[in-house]
Chain A
Amino acid sequence: MQQKTKFTRFTERSGYAGSAWLLMVVLLIIAGVRAPYLFTGSGIGGFIVNTTPLILVAMAMTVTALVGSNVDLSAGALMIFVNVSLVKFLFDQSIGAPWIVVLLAIGIGVAVQVIQVVIMTVVRIEPIIVTLAAFLALSGLNLVILSRPQGRAPNWLGAWGAGRDIFGPMTLLVIVVIVAWFLFTRTGLFTRIKLVGANERTAFVSGVPVFRTRLVAHVISGVLIGLAGLAYTGFIASGNPTQSATYTLAAVTALVLGGTSLAGGAGGMLGTVPGAIAVSLISFTLSTFPLGLLASFVTQFAYGLILVLALTLGVLVRGIVVRKKRSAVA
């Protein structure tokens, strides 16, 4: 067996992200043809502002999926929870100092994720049940905290949502997060997250601190969701309690499209980020057609179709690869 070149390795390792990149490029072309203003400075800036919350939530879901906590159905509701909490407990009380706002946003995200991981590992309940319960509890609570879209973000945060040119604060946020994540993937801690996700029992018997590793993954997810809540608040410059389900489903679609395995241990941001951009482009592209109210139905249908197709495709491709390797051995 000879060593493969770095390039072959890279393409092999990154194959999972293929369909997300493909769909993103196709949609970019369609969007560019339909609405050329997308490729102006303010067009790109506006799109980034629009998409940042989704990218961050989908990234958060990716971390917990990698560590083996399945798909985090609570992520969207948690992001909205951060948003409405900021509005209700800070902005409505005229508190808007950046450090308090950022601290509370991240603090809420981390706290809720830690509670969830403790229930998963210490009480030992299926992750999907825990996040489903959290989704329901949080999306109910969000509407109890704010009964309808209301409130006003402080000026500095509201300015995030301007999106007049490419390099706004939101763009910076996304770049910083992605670079930080890339650096994190070089650490042993990241490897441990993947190993625990790939096979928890193996990791356990090999002396990997399983609980601590899962805790770290969920804390990272909490930080990302906190930032997403912040970005969302900047984007709409107010509070909106009604979008829990929308964001959860869009992010699940991005995650699945991005090729991250819901069984844990495989996948990554290389697929999730273009996946989230593609999902966001779907609604953008549809808005260029005169669909009126139907647009939301088409979007819903498209999400559903992408979920099913991406999963089916993933299984089929995996099956072909395995068969190929088997026949190569025999």
Chain B
Amino acid sequence: MDLGASAATTPPPATGPGAAGPPAIEVRGMHKSFGETRALRGVDFTAFSGEIHAIVGENGSGKSTMAKIISGIFGPDSGTARIFGEEIGNPIEASRAGVATVFQEVLVAETATVAENVFMGMRSEKGTRRSRSWKRERAGELMSDLVGHEIDPDEIVEDLPLAVRQWVTIARAIAREPRVVVFDESTAALDLDGAARLYAEMQRLRDGGACVLVVTHRIAELTSFADRATVLRDGKTVGVVEGAEITLDRLLEMMSGVAPSEDAVRAPAARAVERSAPVLTASAVQVQPAFAPSDLELYPGEIIGFAGLDGQGQSEFIQALTGVAPFASGSVQVHGDTEEPRSIHTLEDAIGARALYISGDRRREGIFTNLSIFENFAMPIYKDEQDFGIIRRRSIMNKFREQSERLSLRAGASTNLITSLSGGNQQKVIIGRVLAQNPRVVALNDPARGVDIRTKRELYQQLDTLAASGAGVVYLSTEIDELVGLCHRVAVFRDGALFTWLEGEQITSDRILGAMFGHLETDFQIEEIMESTHAAEN
């Protein structure tokens, strides 16, 4: 089977199911670059009215960029995007053409009311000018339907919980009675019930004749309800699958360009770990007072995976392990070979004990876009590398050379800006600066975001080498299949605490996914889970 080739040679159907006139969305030969980063490198796809069309791909495959082009946020460098045959130049034109988008980021006007947010930017078309009280009432109804309990339309959005704010953005899209709805990773801030309600809403929109475009990397959730799926990889369309063909394995295979079985590089889990003296222990850690306590023991040489639906506490937990975020109660300790165990409360504690954190959210938590490659490497190290207040530049430079060789960093001069590097190489700089500090524990928070496949594989190998030398590794991923074959154990989180452990043979995509939804037994189908969730909803 040749995935790339077969997909590229299958042209999308010229007309869709029962479509007359131009298709709802038609994207042809689309390219888009941001500086050095080439986000889209040739995307083609067509979506029709009356279907739920999924755009899937790994993080960094260009999905969000495409959603933004379709919404008129910015234009492509080359190629076209047409909505019912018309090109869109800005969000106002998109809105006029019937496009409504729910963005990944929860975009609300914080100091305005719910009603004002829901009807923001809605044009009063001829004769449909609505009064304030009508808008308030309608916003209240819509929100109450979506959230499941009453929401006061006069409430200031700033005072609402994040999940409700997310619903405000969804209500804003639905209030427009759109012909094309784009959901860009819109379940991020929602809990499971909320996600199920959103899926039901998508189906209602589809049945009403709208074209529903779902952009996501969480493919498990959509296998049960997407009508068609276009798969992107590294900014290119690699294929379209329909109906029953939309299965987890098939999508995973197309997204990564590698059949799961073929992935021989990734076998750190095969290395045995001797569980005698842990390098890190967490006892009765509550990330928030309302959540159940969790325990964890990490042994030298071990790689533990963290999984869970968004916002189930795994991210807070991994941050608690490395002093990045405070936790409500419990204790975290790092054990050295000889010295006393050290308790971790603050970032200083964690760095002193060499328990180090790597964020996948590079833009926000990782890189300094104003500084050079070398400065980005050196910044966390400076504090420990000074003589009488003067930093030891030469010594740091040696470390930089050592690490860039070890990680085969593909970069120009070290004085170039960090932004001149691709996402993968930026991540290497961040990992290099952590390795240069001789970590005892490394906690990675979804580090593969926006990183190409080769770099990912190199990363797995580096982590294996690191663990083999006696360090402990915690690896949080939002892409389940990343954990398979990499981790000795996987901790699945639910409701703010550790829900269950999976070990050895138990670590399969299906098992992890099932546990994320609260299932412990082994024989089940994803579709069943989704259906039972829907049933519970209705």
Q: Please give the residue numbers on chain A whose beta carbons come within 8 Å of chain B beta carbons, in ascending order.
A: 1-4, 9, 186, 188, 191, 194-195, 197-199, 201-209, 261, 265-266, 322, 325, 329-330
A202-B107, A205-B73, A207-B91 as given contacts; A4 in contact with B112, CB under 8 Å: no
Q: CA–CA, A325 to B101, complex, Å?
A: 30
**Chain B residues, CB < 8 A from A206:** 91, 95, 107, 120-121, 172
Taking the complex as formed, is B110 at the interface, i.e. its CB lies under 8 A from any CB of chain A? Answer: yes
Does A195 lie within 8 Å of B110, measured CB to CB? no
Minimal Cβ-Cβ distance residue in A for B73 = A205
Number of A-B contacts (CB under 8 A): 77
B158, chain A: closest CB distance, angstroms: 8
CB-defined A-B contacts under 8 Å, sample of 16: A1-B149, A1-B150, A194-B109, A194-B111, A194-B112, A195-B121, A198-B110, A199-B107, A199-B110, A203-B121, A205-B103, A205-B107, A207-B94, A207-B122, A209-B92, A261-B111
Chain B 80-97, CB within 8 Å of chain A: the 1/0 string?
000000000001101100
Taking the complex as formed, is B154 at the interface, i.e. its CB lies under 8 A from any CB of chain A? Answer: yes
Does A325 lie within 8 Å of B91, measured CB to CB? no
A194-B116, A198-B109, A198-B112 as given contacts; A208 in contact with B121, CB under 8 Å: yes
Does B95 lie within 8 Å of A207, measured CB to CB? yes
**Chain A residues, CB < 8 A from B325:** none
Taking the complex as formed, is B123 at the interface, i.e. its CB lies under 8 A from any CB of chain A? Answer: yes
Does A188 lie within 8 Å of B123, measured CB to CB? no
Taking the complex as formed, is B198 at the interface, i.e. its CB lies under 8 A from any CB of chain A? Answer: no
Taking the complex as formed, is B390 at the interface, i.e. its CB lies under 8 A from any CB of chain A? Answer: no
Does A9 lie within 8 Å of B154, measured CB to CB? yes
A203-B109, A265-B112 as given contacts; A208 in contact with B150, CB under 8 Å: no
**Chain A residues, CB < 8 A from B132:** 186
**Chain B residues, CB < 8 A from A322:** 159
Selected contact of A266 from candidates B107, B111, B121, B289, CB within 8 Å: B111
Q: Is the interface of B mostly helix, strand, loop or mixed?
A: loop
> Nearest 7 CB-CB pairs, A to B?
A206-B121, A207-B121, A198-B109, A207-B95, A265-B111, A266-B111, A202-B107
Taking the complex as formed, is B459 at the interface, i.e. its CB lies under 8 A from any CB of chain A? Answer: no
Chain B 118-147, CB within 8 Å of chain A: the 1/0 string?
001111100000001000000000000000
Q: A205-B91, A207-B92, A330-B289 given. 15 additional CB < 8 A pairs?
A: A1-B151, A3-B154, A186-B132, A188-B124, A194-B111, A194-B116, A195-B121, A197-B111, A202-B109, A202-B120, A204-B91, A207-B91, A207-B94, A322-B159, A325-B159
Taking the complex as formed, is B71 at the interface, i.e. its CB lies under 8 A from any CB of chain A? Answer: yes
Q: CA–CA, A16 to B344, complex, Å?
A: 41
Q: Which size bracket describes the interface of B in this complex?
A: 20 to 34
Minimal Cβ-Cβ distance residue in B for A208 = B121
**Chain B residues, CB < 8 A from A329:** 161
B185, chain A: closest CB distance, angstroms: 15
Q: CA–CA, A1 to B152, complex, Å?
A: 7
Minimal Cβ-Cβ distance residue in B for A12 = B156
Q: CA–CA, A93 to B151, complex, Å?
A: 63
Taking the complex as formed, is B108 at the interface, i.e. its CB lies under 8 A from any CB of chain A? Answer: yes
Taking the complex as formed, is B272 at the interface, i.e. its CB lies under 8 A from any CB of chain A? Answer: no
Q: CA–CA, A249 to B123, complex, Å?
A: 39
Selected contact of A265 from candidates B73, B92, B109, B149, CB within 8 Å: B109
**Chain B residues, CB < 8 A from A191:** 112, 116
Does A201 lie within 8 Å of B111, measured CB to CB? no
Beta-carbon contacts under 8 Å, B402-442 to A:
none
**Chain A residues, CB < 8 A from B289:** 330
Does B71 lie within 8 Å of A202, measured CB to CB? no
Taking the complex as formed, is B244 at the interface, i.e. its CB lies under 8 A from any CB of chain A? Answer: no
Q: CA–CA, A258 to B476, complex, Å?
A: 48
Does B123 lie within 8 Å of A4, measured CB to CB? no
A1-B152, A205-B91, A207-B91 as given contacts; A199 in contact with B109, CB under 8 Å: yes
**Chain A residues, CB < 8 A from B95:** 206-207
B142, chain A: closest CB distance, angstroms: 15
Taking the complex as formed, is B20 at the interface, i.e. its CB lies under 8 A from any CB of chain A? Answer: no
